Amino acid sequence: MSFSMARCPSLRCMRLKHCLNATRASRQFSTHNSLRTNSNTDTSASAIATAFLWRFQSLGPQTRTQILDANQLQLLSITLNRPSLFPNSPSLSNASTPLPTGTPLPAGYHLVYFTPAFLETELGIDGTDASYNPAAPFTRRMWAGGEVQWPRDATTGRPNFLRVGQEVHETTRVLSASPKVVRKTGEEMIVVGVEKEFRNEDGVAVVDRRYVVRPGPLPRNPSFQYSSPAPNTVTTTTTTTGKTHTRTLRQTPVTLFRFSALTFNPHKIHYSTPWAREVEGHRDIVVHGPLNLIAMLDLWRDTRISRGLPLPLPESISYRATSPLYVEEEYRVVLDEEARDGVGRVRILGPGEVVAMKAEIR
């Protein structure tokens, strides 16, 4: 579905300092009480938008605190194919030293900090996080636009840079929730306005107002196999028989995407289905070997906790991958407790009991 900002009257006011003025906010607050009794059954965009706005303005501003990390800034610059952050500054590609504390963030680079931190089971069916979501069916998300300001010092006129190593506070406020109708299709949607203010020890450094379209239900595509809601898509179960511990796993596309992003791993077999299937001959996208290494170590750690043992690091683990595992396929991590030689033996078994990885933990 396409969305035209020119057709949405509320988005024409992007340049205004506040999209929601006090009069409109007061009006929506006053109408909430009359709608509250019907909000459980009224699924119109208007009723849901009003209830959403009342709920978040009742909660008030939400604040998070974070130390701005040099590694995050370096990875963003490399992702944007900018080998140096500033003219004549050192190359960031495979750099041996981090960006120094105090390095200023270029405009817009604040977007890679204060990222949403939700379990996969808490995400929506489209993979988006549930923060600042109106009620169903208006839970999907499309970015519509916004405005970012970098305030100047009243005396010197200088900007207040966000810098590496600073403790920064992000304060989020919900500004507006406006029901809209797409003229061509008659589809209802809600446009949500949110303001994020970033403050360091010198005061406000960035004010980021963003407007997000929340469309209605997903279009039904008969050729696409829709999955269950997110809470039913992640499988992790653990059983114990004697001294053998077995954990059953099934990795989803979201998990593989997140792990690739966290490890900054651009290997196409983990996210490009055409590449994995048509070029490298796999059945589907491939579960990361390092992800399975962590799965083995996590099972070892969890079994020690369940037995009331101390929680040291293992002395070592040696492992070998023997067969690929694929997204959405169920597989098992099997740990046999330490024998007299002090070695725990682990196997990862894929479909058909094929050994995908094996290891020894000391």
pLDDT tens per residue across span 245-278: 999 999 999 999 999 999 999 999 999 999 999 9
Please state, in angstroms and as integers, the Cα–Cα distance from residue 42 to each residue in 20, 52, 190, 306, following that order: 24, 13, 15, 48
SS3 label, residue 87: coil
Q: Helix crossing, 289-306 with 253-262: angle to 10°?
A: 100
pLDDT at 103 over 90: yes
pLDDT at 4 over 50: no
49 sits in the region (left: phi over 0; alpha: psi -120 to 50; else beta) called alpha
Asked whether residue 60 is domain-assigned, the answer is yes
At residue 221, the pLDDT reads 66
Asked whether residue 291 is domain-assigned, the answer is yes
Number of domains in the chain: 1
Asked whether residue 7 is domain-assigned, the answer is no
Please state, in angstroms and as integers, the Cα–Cα distance from residue 126 to each residue in 118, 122, 326, following that order: 14, 11, 21
Asked whether residue 4 is domain-assigned, the answer is no
Looking at every residue in the chain, the average pLDDT score rounds to 85
In which order are the strands placed within the sheet that holds 244-250? 235-241, 244-250, 330-336, 344-349, 355-361, 317-321
Closest CA to 202 of 108, 102, 107, 98: 102
Give the dihedral sign, CA 60/65/71/74: positive
Integer Cα distance of 107 and 167 in angstroms: 18
User: Which CATH number covers residue 82?
Assistant: 3.10.129.10
Asked whether residue 215 is domain-assigned, the answer is yes
Integer Cα distance of 12 and 19 in angstroms: 9
Integer Cα distance of 163 and 68 in angstroms: 7
Please state, in angstroms and as integers, the Cα–Cα distance from residue 17 to each residue in 169, 197, 210, 218, 325, following that order: 21, 13, 12, 33, 52
- pLDDT tens digit string along 196-216? 999 999 999 999 999 999 888
Beta strands in 12-60 (DSSP E): none
Asked whether residue 98 is domain-assigned, the answer is yes
At residue 357, the pLDDT reads 96
- Report yes or no on whether pTM surpasses 0.95: no
Asked whether residue 246 is domain-assigned, the answer is yes
Asked whether residue 10 is domain-assigned, the answer is no
Average pLDDT of span 180-201: 93
Domain residues for 294? 45-361
Q: Is 189:215 a contact under the CB 8 Å cutoff?
A: yes
Backbone phi and psi for residue 267, each to the nearest 5 degrees, phi listed first: -60, 120
pLDDT at 3 over 80: no
Q: Is 285:270 a contact under the CB 8 Å cutoff?
A: yes
SS3 of the chain: helix, strand, coil, percent, to 5: 25, 30, 45
Dihedral (C-alpha) 127, 130, 133, 139: value to the nearest 10 degrees?
A: 30
